[in-house]
Structure 1
Amino acid sequence: MFSTVAIVGAGTMGQGIAQLLVESGLTVRLHDRSAEALSQAIDAVTRRLQRRTDMDTSAAATANLLLSTPCLAQITDVELAIEAVPERLELKQVVFAELDRCLPASAVLASNTSGLDIDKLADSTTRPERVLGLHFFNPPSLMPLIEVVPGAVTDSAVLAAVQAFAEQLGKTPITVANRPGFVVNRLLFAMIAEAVRIVDEGETPAQDVDRALCLGASHPIGPLALADFIGLDVVLDILQSLVSGLGTRYEPSAVLHELVTQGHLGRKSGRGFFSY
């Protein structure tokens, strides 16, 4: 079982996964190529862990399990690395190649991608049998599902170990095929893309689109509020990747491009389809 885990990418998902792992008693080496982003992430996760400690004194020992790791070459003692950089295939391939060079041959390399081709990531390494997808959902500490995505040559023992790891974290793993969008995002982003197109038509405001799904289909949150929560830049990246794999029904519309260009990225920027 894995006891020391590297997380590469200190953004929203990297921070969330780090928090979850530390709260589960694992040692986490968090890395980001930006020293500023890494420092901010360590501070943010530490604050969240401290709030939990204030409520639960048994969590006090978790603070020293989160380690800032500015250089990937320092990551030599991990059994598992989880890549959580932005959803761009070329960037992830570079990260996987670097992890392959730095980590021991026995280490498992996992991607938190929400739908990119696992085999293309595995081909960036000399250990494709030890590469797979490990897709957490936001926020990782609360969402119960993890999609586990084996590649064409992923070793069955590696797959079993990662499934057991997900269960150790208190999650429910499902094994899904290596197809664009996997299962959840293939369904979810088709809905988000259509919701944005409706707004783009100019006759139905975002508030009413979300009300329609919440009141008419019992959704707990509307698709546009959810897009704001995910981050509109992330939504755009995912939709563009799905277009290449599944076709134009995932094509992001003009209003989404415009919001991202203007820096209106949703909750994290204070404004997206809604204001916060």
Structure 2
Amino acid sequence: MSSAATAPAVVGVIGGGRMGAGIAQSFAAAGSRVVVVERDGATAAAALERIATGLRRAAERGTLAGSSDLDLPDRVIAVSSVAELPDDADLVVEAVPENAGLKAEVLAAAEHVVPDGCVLASNTSSLSVTELAAALRRPGRFLGMHFFNPVPVSALVELVLAPGTDATALDAAVRWTHALGKEDVVVKDSPGFASSRLGLALGLEAIRMVEEGVADPEAIDTAMRLGYRHPMGPLRLTDVVGLDVRLAIAEHLHKTLGERFAPPRLLRERVARGELGRKTGQGFYPW
């Protein structure tokens, strides 16, 4: 990792939910000026509060990279329109829900606002970066920057290349990833990329094992933690990610890669009951 890597001066983040707020927090902590776009004033204010809380907790833990200045107005602002993205942005990361049409729409709108030298990126965890690039006038400056939850403490960013991604865009993304104190892996665009595809395969098989009565969730997770040194078992991780998110990715990979990614019945049933994991208080575990 290069010690000389510096964060982009100005970053736009479209979407201020858990992932978007985490991305914004990470860049702000690294010294970037950040503009977060949400759909209206209320959700923009909520996004700003998430970021402020995250920065404050990081400072309390002593893990805040860079300056400990938490005066957010100088570091992060939230707006309610893509049209309000800064016209001097170096990087814009889209972090809206995993809907290809919505992602393409906001990326195309951002392209009309930002300067020619700005890199555009999607935080998608499984959608085709090649198809998203097709919505842009200049697809060469676009790539996937797949961050992991929780973003501020995760060690990885998966950089996903479409066939037309320029080397300059990749070089900038690598440099900025290192400036956040994270490692990069570079992969070609493929359904599920590397991380989601392998992670989902393990998670789906663990769900099938519960469905078949092989073992309970705690036993399966303990086996993977202690036997294979996973920091978290696949079922607890599914709760953290969200069962609905896992189901959506599974359905996408089922269509593109075949039957081995068919969602288990138990996963569909839990999502139908609203048992989505940590965010609803119940998944494979109570939270």
TM-score of the two chains, using structure 1 as the length reference: 0.93
**Is 1:49–1:62's contact at 8 Å kept on the other side of the alignment?**
no
Q: CA RMSD in A?
A: 1.9
Partner of 1:28: 34
2:82 partner amino acid: L
Partner of 1:211: 222
Partner of 1:106: 117
Q: Say which SS state the counterpart of residue 274 (structure 1) adopts.
A: coil
1:71 partner amino acid: S
Q: Say which SS state the counterpart of residue 69 (structure 2) adopts.
A: helix
1: distance between equivalents of 2:157 and 2:60? 28
**Is 2:37–2:85's contact at 8 Å kept on the other side of the alignment?**
no
Percent identity (aligned): 38
2:23 partner amino acid: I
Q: CA deviation at 1:93?
A: 1.4
Q: 1:59 aligns with which of 52, 68, 71?
A: 68
Which runs of 5 or more structure 2 residues have no equivalent in the other structure?
1-6
**Is 1:232–1:265's contact at 8 Å kept on the other side of the alignment?**
yes
**Is 1:88–1:237's contact at 8 Å kept on the other side of the alignment?**
no
1:188 partner amino acid: G
2:80 partner amino acid: P
Q: CA deviation at 1:135?
A: 0.9
1:130 partner amino acid: R
Partner of 1:267: 278
Distance 1:6-1:158 versus aligned 2 partners, 3 A rule? same
Q: Say which SS state the counterpart of residue 270 (structure 1) adopts.
A: coil
Distance 1:237-1:43 versus aligned 2 partners, 3 A rule? same
1: distance between equivalents of 2:121 and 2:205? 31
Partner of 2:3: none
1:125 partner amino acid: L
1: distance between equivalents of 2:259 and 2:113? 39
Q: Say which SS state the counterpart of residue 47 (structure 1) adopts.
A: helix
Partner of 1:43: 49
1: distance between equivalents of 2:208 and 2:100? 26
**Is 1:23–1:62's contact at 8 Å kept on the other side of the alignment?**
no
Q: CA deviation at 1:124?
A: 0.5
Which runs of 5 or more structure 1 residues have no equivalent in the other structure?
none
Number of corresponding residues: 276
Give runs of aligned pairs for residues 166-177 of structure 1, distance below 5 A: 166-177=177-188
**Is 2:82–2:106's contact at 8 Å kept on the other side of the alignment?**
no
Q: Does 1:9 align with 2:15?
A: yes
Q: Does 1:254 align with 2:265?
A: yes
TM-score of the two chains, using structure 2 as the length reference: 0.90
1: distance between equivalents of 2:243 and 2:41? 24
**Is 2:35–2:77's contact at 8 Å kept on the other side of the alignment?**
yes
Distance 1:205-1:52 versus aligned 2 partners, 3 A rule? closer
Higher helix share: 1
Q: CA deviation at 1:245?
A: 2.2
Q: CA deviation at 1:20?
A: 0.7
String of CA shifts for 1:45-92, please: whole Å, max 9, x gaps.
112222344566951255231111111111132121101112222221
Q: 2:242 aligns with which of 228, 231, 256?
A: 231
Q: Say which SS state the counterpart of residue 59 (structure 1) adopts.
A: coil
2:173 partner amino acid: V
Distance 1:248-1:36 versus aligned 2 partners, 3 A rule? farther
Q: Say which SS state the counterpart of residue 92 (structure 2) adopts.
A: strand
